[in-house]
Amino acid sequence: MTMPTTSTVEKFDFSKPSRLSPGNADQWQHWLDLFATEFREKWYQLASVETELQIGDQAALVFEVVRQRLPRPAIAWCFSIGTDKVPTLLVFDRPLALGLVMQLLGEQQQELPDDRPLSAIEHSLCEMMFRRIVDSLSESWPQKEPLEFEMQEVDLFPHRSRIWEPRKTVYTCNFGFNIGDGTSICQWILPQEELEGVLEQLDVPRVEFSEAGRQRMEQRVFDVPVEVTVELGRTQVPVSRLATLAAGDVLLFEQRINEPLPLVVAGQKKFYGWLGRAGNRQAFKVTEVCQSDRGVRE
């Protein structure tokens, strides 16, 4: 008697982000770049204010994870795109929506306004703002004809939305708006499988891989910001002492004062060096490369 072979079941992390397929990712990024320029021009015509729109983080996640991470309070607009009327959701946290509405009213802000419910007039202006964004998305579609879209209803509680099943994979894209001295984020959410289908309709010639393309990709990678941390030292203390710590108490680190400090990248020690000062800011001077990185110290 032959025993059945036991297959290994791999655990799937629904909160782990994924991406669009490579070919469609290029078409998508091209569309977004055109949209950023189109919106900037349309917004200046409408509000006489130059508002820079930045394309931010993007990822594919299940809708339940995305929904839990949405800002509260928020205001969202549902609209469909393409001939298949693919549903999408554009989500703003409410202070950002208020800030853009105030720009429409001719008010200049150095920071976002305090959160509050929108008045009837502000709600109408907010609808105008959403339409301007969607118009820009349609007009920037890289085809001869603009992309079809249909505005639907407003959603004041997007974190409770049932527009898709909780386990539906959706693609999220952040848009950064410059308000005063800071940048605030809104989020466009689309079903990934249907978005891939919409992008497949583009007949823009696919860019063949070349040395020039490789160089551009390398430059993109080099431009990605990476968070680095200088580790001053480590120690362990019992919870009883941690609970009684007060101003003036001293903790002794394992790090000796005559040893260089490690610079940590993505949880890994990469360099050693010393703290210092550059003008009125703290600085770190790299003096060595970790052995784990090159095999020897330089």
274 band by pLDDT with thresholds 50, 70 and 90? confident
Nearest residue to 287 (alpha-carbon basis) of 296, 269, 274: 274
- Going along the chain from its start, the domains and CATH numbers come out as 22-222 (3.40.1550.10), 228-243+250-294 (2.30.330.10)
26 band by pLDDT with thresholds 50, 70 and 90? confident
Instruction: Tell me how far apart the alpha carbons of residues 96 and 265 are, in angstroms, rounded to a whole number.
Output: 33
Q: What is the pLDDT of residues 71-125, one digit of tens each?
A: 999 999 999 999 999 999 999 999 988 888 888 888 877 788 888 998 999 888 8
CB atoms closer than 10 angstroms to residue 103? 21
Nearest residue to 46 (alpha-carbon basis) of 123, 119, 111, 126: 126
Instruction: Tell me how far apart the alpha carbons of residues 190 and 195 are, in angstroms, rounded to a whole number.
Output: 7
What are the residues whose beta carbons fall under 8 Å from the beta carbon of 291, sequence distance 6 or more? 297
215 band by pLDDT with thresholds 50, 70 and 90? confident
Burial 37-70 (b: 16+ CB within 10 A, else e): ebbeebbeeebeeebebeeeebbbbbbbbbbeeb
166 preceded by a cis bond (ω within 30 of 0) = no
Q: What is the pLDDT of residues 47-75, one digit of tens each?
A: 887 777 889 889 999 999 999 999 999 99
Please give the residue that has the higher pLDDT: either 140 or 181. Answer: 140
